[in-house]
Structure 1
Amino acid sequence: MTTKRDPGSTVFFRLTIDGESLGNFNGCEGLAAQVDIEQREEGGNNGYVWQLPSRVRHSNVRLTRPINKETAQVMAWISSVATGIRRPTAQIEALRADGSLVARWGLLDVVPVSWTGPTLDPSSPAVATEVLEIAHHGFTG
């Protein structure tokens, strides 16, 4: 008898930049693409408007996790931008709790956009989290 796996429960995300792991994240949002459409009206054809794709836009990806020792690797990657922009390829893998792969996305020409660290306020105890936002120029095959 085969065991059915729940594809969406307890998923975490692993980020690698050119094969170097920046660790696991428990939240990922912004994996999206939008095709801009230009409308062209054809003379003499009043019942039809051409819908022509013009460009593809990709939203920034935001990854969140509790602060841990892998935060230093993220900081090193962000600091490397000061010495010259290099646009590597990234991989985001959605993994189940047992480490098996659910899905994988390759991102072309990634660059860090922002990093937000935790708000350290003793009057409101909460998990210290970080948010990494990256921009990219499209998905790999």
Structure 2
Amino acid sequence: MDDICIFLVHAIELEREAARRYEELAESMRADGNLKVEKFFRTMAIFSRKHLALAMERGGFQQLPILSREEYWWPDGVSPEQFTWIGVDGFIDVAYALDLALDGEMRGHAFYQEVFSNTHDPEVKRMALEFADEEAEHVAELQKWINGSAA
């Protein structure tokens, strides 16, 4: 990925998709009365919306292209922070919710790290590293939560 505009479109979509999934999960948990897990997913959605705003701000000076689904460069064909609904219902606990979030954040980090490693464009490289570092912080924070909840 050697075009900063294409990179920013991916970053915006990644964060938009993450926020959307967390909000859907929060609603599902609320509907099933699992308020503790709902609160966790709402917090994660807020974090994703903040990251989305930052990505949009960074891209604000650019005329960003509109990509079709097929034009996105996702490793598995879907946004890296999009996670599967398999095994997700109103009875999941916080530990499982944390594991879902950690998996998504790790995939987001791997995506940005891969872009960083493979791009030839210095601006994309700089920004991909910045986004990878942010995702690494999210991973570290979630790991702290997981280790704290296991104690």
TM-score when normalising by structure 2: 0.26
The answer to which structure, 1 or 2, has the higher relative contact order (CA under 8 A, 6+ apart) is 2
Structure with more strand by fraction? 1
Structure with more helix by fraction? 2
